[in-house]
Structure 1
Amino acid sequence: MVVRFIVENLFSFGERREFNLLPSPRYSRLSHHKYSLNSFDFLKLSVFYGANGSGKSNLIKSIAYLKDIVLEEEIPPRFQQHKFKFHNELKEVEVLLGIEFISEGTPFIYALKFNEGIILHEELYISGLGVKDDVLIFERETNQDRHISTKFSEDFEKDTESKILQKVIEKNLSKPDRPLLKLLSTLDSPFLEDLGKAYRWFERTIQIITPLSKPAALAQRIDTNDNFREYANETMCTFHTGIKNLKTEKKSLVEFFGQDNIGELDELIKELDDSSKKMIGLPTRMGEEILLVKEGSEVFVKRLRLEHQGLNNKTAFFYINEESDGTVRLLDYIPAFQDIVNKEKVYIVDEIERSIHPLLIKELIRKFSSDSNTKGQLIFSTHESNLLDQEIFRQDEIWFVEKDKNGSTDLYPLSEFKEHHTKNIRKGYLNGRYGGIPFLSNLQDLNWNKYAIAE
C-alpha cells in the first residue's frame, strides 16, 4: 500500500510537496476506509481535484517515473527537460522522488535524488511508521568525480563476506546513472532479503492507468480464466451498455493471416518463442489488442469480441474498435477493480471519469467505497464534481491541486478546512471555497469576434 509520496523539482513541482493517505485523527466517519498494519492506519481511497494545468497529472506521472526508474534501472534522458523550469539556475536543481509504502507486510521508505542524469543519492529503509526508528537497508552516494560509496545495515557491514560484496558492488556493479534497488534485490545475502519485497512492490503491486493505458492480455484472461470471465461478464452486464457476453475469438495462423502470408511471420514467431509468457501483441491501427499466443506446439491469434442483443433478441458480435469510447474505458477498468477488491494492489488512475457517464462512474466509486471487504487502494484524479460526496469520501481522502504565484503546484486535503460532515462540499468546491478550480472571471471579456478572418 502507499503511505506517502514526496516530489520536488519535477514537472510543475518546484517546492517539495507531499501527498499521503494518512487518516486525520479527528475524522471518524467511514472507518472501514482505514487499513491497519501493527496499529498503524492508512486509507484505501483518495481523489485529486484541480483546474486544467494545475498539476494533477504531473503528480501521477511523477509516481510513474519513479516506478520506471526502478524497473528499467536508468534515469531516462527526457527527465532533464521535465525539471521544474522556474529556477534561476536550472542546471543546479536536483530532483527528489520518495515514496513510503507497505509490501508483503513490511513498511519501506525509498528515495532518489538525481541531476543531469546522475543519481546523487539513493536510499531504502524499513520504515518505523513514525513510531519506531527507521532501519537502514542501504544508501548510496555519487560524488562529483562520479565515485560511488555505499552504506548498509550494521549487521551487513560487520559480516566479512558482506564487506567483500560491498566492495564488488561499489567498484564493479554500480553505475552513476543507474539505481541499485533492482540489482541488490537479485543478490544472495541474508542481510538483503527485504530488498526483494521492496522491488516486487514496484514490479507487481503499484499500477498506473493513464487516459491512453490499456489492460494487457484481456482476451487471454477471458479465454483461459473462467472466474475472471464470469466476473467480467457480470460486471459489464451491470453497466447496461448492451453487452451480454464477452468472448475470445481464437484462430490459427492460417485462419487469421491466410496460407500465402504464413512465410512472412518468421520474426514474429521467433519473438513469441523468446517471450517469457509465450504471448505477444500484434501492432494494430485502431487501438485494439490482438494477441499471438503459443499453447503447446500451436500458435493462435486471439481477439476480444463483445456480444450485443438487439431487436427481437437477435445477437451480434462486435470487435473492440466497433465499441464506444465509454464502453472501451469501462473494459479497461475490469482487471483493476477485481484487483483492488481482492488483492493488496494499488491502482493510480488519471482522469478516471474519461468518456464515462457521471452517474455510472459515481456508482462504481460508491460501490468500492462502501465495500468493507476490499484489500487494495484506489487513487485517482478527476474533474467530475458529482463525486464530491461525503457519503463516498472521507474529508482526508479528498485533495486539491493548484499552482501558486511562482508556477509551482501545491497539494492540500479537504480535512484542512474542518468542514462539517453534512456540508455540501460539491457546492463549496464549485464556488471556489477550497481552490483547485479554473479562474473564469476574464472569459466574459474575451472579444473573440474581432479575430474573425475574412474569406
Structure 2
Amino acid sequence: MLKRVIAKNFKCFKNETIFDYTKTNYKLLEQNTEGKNLKGVLFVGDNASGKTTALQPIKLMLDLLFKDRDISLVMYNCLFSTEKITSLQFEFDVDNHEIKYEFSFDRNVFIEERLTVDDQIVIERVKKNVRLQLEEEKSFHEVDDTLLFLKRVYFSTKFAGNKILIQWFDELKKSVYINAYSRRIVSYNGKSLSVNKYLEENGTDHINKFFEDNNFQFAIQYEKVVEKEGLRFELDENEGKMVFFERQGIETPLPIFMESTGNQTLINILPAILSVVENGGMLLIDEFSSGLHNKLEELLIRYIMRNGKGMQLFFVSHSTNLLSNSILRPDQIYAVEMEGKEGSKIKRFSDEQPRAAQNLEKMYLSGVFGGVPEYGIDRK
C-alpha cells in the first residue's frame, strides 16, 4: 500500500509537499484502515486549487510504467518556478517490506532515479548511467534518458524472481484511474473496464446484486432487443447490446441514453469500483461528484471502505457532506489551497486534532482547515 508521496516543483505544487497516507492515532472507523495505512483519502478545496493535481503524481508514475505512449513531462513542471527540476518520491508498504521509489526530471529528460527495498539499493541512476542490483550488480551507460529505467528492468527481467518487487508491480498493475466527469477510465493491467465489456464478460448479476443489497429502486438489463407494454427498443445488426434500466413499478425499461447524468455516471464507474474493491490496487477518481447525489456518494465511499482489501482510494469531490467522522476519519481528508506564486499547499484535517464528536463539515466551511473559497457574497 502507498504510504507517502513527496512532490516538489510538480505543476502547482511548487514547494516540497508531503502527502501522508498512514493512519494517525484516531480510533474511529478502523474499517477505513489496513495495518498502518489508510484505505482512502479525499481532497477538497476551491476550484483550480490543485485537487486534481494531488492525484497526478500517482497517475504519472503509473502512466510512465505501464502506458505505451509518449508523455510530455514538460507539462508536469511548475510553470511559475525558477527551479528546473521536478522530483517525485513514493513510499510503499508491501507485505511489511518498505519500497522507496523516486525520480526527477528536467523537462523531458530524467535526471535521477532510485529504487530501494528495505534500504537496499536496486536501481540507482544519474542521467544516462545506471547501477542495477538484482541477482548480481550490473552497470549500464548511455541509457535512454526519456524513459524510466524501472520500466525497462520490469519488462526485460520481471525482477529476476524477486518476490517483493513482483508483488509490488502486481499490485500497481491492478490500479485504475477514473475521471467521472469525462467518463474516462484507465486500467493499468490492460483489461478494459468499460461497462459494455464488463457486462459481456460477467453479465448483469453482480451489478444487480450490488443494487439489491443497497436498496436501489432499479436493476439493469443488457440486451439487444427489449420490448414491453408495446414499446420496442432494437439495435441495428452491426451494433452490440445496450444497458437498460428497469425501475420498480415501471414496466418499460429505459435505455441508458435516456437516463439521468447521475445514473449514466454510476453505471460507467461501477465496474471499475467493483474490480478494485475485489482485486486490490489503487483507485484514483477525479470529479467524483459528477452527477451523483450526495447520498449516493456516501454509499459508494462506505461500500469501498467496508469491502475493500489491499486497495486504496484517492479521490476529489466538492460534496462537503462527505466531511463526516461517520464516513471518513480526519486523517483521511486533505484541504487544498492555492497561495498565488507560492503555489498550492495542503492541510490534513487531523492536524487540527478535531474530536470525534465535532462536525468536520461545519469546521471546514468556517475556514478551520483552509481550502474554502471566498466570493463577494461572503463579504456582505
Q: Do they superpose with TM above 0.5?
A: yes
- Once the two structures are TM-superposed, the CA of residue 432 in structure 1 deviates from its matched residue by 1.1
Q: In the alignment, what sits opposite 2:44?
A: 49
| Residue 272 (structure 2) pairs with residue 336 (structure 1) | yes
Residue 221 to residue 248, structure 1, CA distance change in 2 (3 Å):
farther
Identical amino acids, percent of aligned pairs: 21
Select 2:252's aligned residue among 305, 311, 315. Answer: 315
- Once the two structures are TM-superposed, the CA of residue 196 in structure 1 deviates from its matched residue by 4.0
Q: In the alignment, what sits opposite 1:29?
A: 28
Residue 349 to residue 67, structure 1, CA distance change in 2 (3 Å):
same
- Partners of 1:9 and 1:94 within 8 A in 2: yes
Describe the SS at the equivalent of 1:410. strand
In structure 2, C-alpha distance between the alignment counterparts of 1:74 and 1:121, rounded to whole Å: 21
- Once the two structures are TM-superposed, the CA of residue 207 in structure 1 deviates from its matched residue by 1.5
Matches within 5 A, 1:415-426: 415-426=350-361
Select 1:113's aligned residue among 94, 97, 104. Answer: 104
Describe the SS at the equivalent of 1:411. strand
Give CA deviations for 1:99-141 in whole Å, capped at 9, x if unaligned: 2234577542221100121100112211x4xxxxx12111111
- Partners of 1:101 and 1:107 within 8 A in 2: yes
Count, aligned residues = 362
- Partners of 1:8 and 1:14 within 8 A in 2: yes
Query: CA RMSD for the aligned pairs?
Result: 2.8
Give CA deviations for 1:381-425 in whole Å, capped at 9, x if unaligned: 111111111111111111111122434111121111011111111
- Partners of 1:347 and 1:377 within 8 A in 2: yes
Q: In the alignment, what sits opposite 1:230?
A: 205
- Once the two structures are TM-superposed, the CA of residue 181 in structure 1 deviates from its matched residue by 1.3
- Partners of 1:5 and 1:100 within 8 A in 2: yes
Structure 2's unaligned 5+ residue stretches are 186-192, 226-234
- Once the two structures are TM-superposed, the CA of residue 205 in structure 1 deviates from its matched residue by 2.2
Select 1:305's aligned residue among 243, 247, 267. Answer: 243
Once the two structures are overlaid, the 10-residue window that deviates more, 13-22 or 404-413, is 404-413
Describe the SS at the equivalent of 1:352. coil
Please give the TM-score of this superposition, normalised by the length of structure 1.
0.72
- Partners of 2:276 and 2:308 within 8 A in 1: no
In structure 2, C-alpha distance between the alignment counterparts of 1:233 and 1:12, rounded to whole Å: 41
| Residue 48 (structure 2) pairs with residue 65 (structure 1) | no
- Partners of 1:74 and 1:178 within 8 A in 2: no
Radius of gyration: which is bigger?
1
In structure 2, C-alpha distance between the alignment counterparts of 1:421 and 1:388, rounded to whole Å: 12
Structure 1's unaligned 5+ residue stretches are 129-133, 143-147, 158-162, 258-300, 446-455
Describe the SS at the equivalent of 1:186. helix
- Once the two structures are TM-superposed, the CA of residue 351 in structure 1 deviates from its matched residue by 2.0
Please give the TM-score of this superposition, normalised by the length of structure 2.
0.85
- Partners of 2:39 and 2:313 within 8 A in 1: yes
Residue 16 to residue 244, structure 1, CA distance change in 2 (3 Å):
same
- Once the two structures are TM-superposed, the CA of residue 86 in structure 1 deviates from its matched residue by 2.0
Matches within 5 A, 1:172-211: 174-188=143-157, 190=160, 195-202=165-172, 204-210=173-179, 211=181
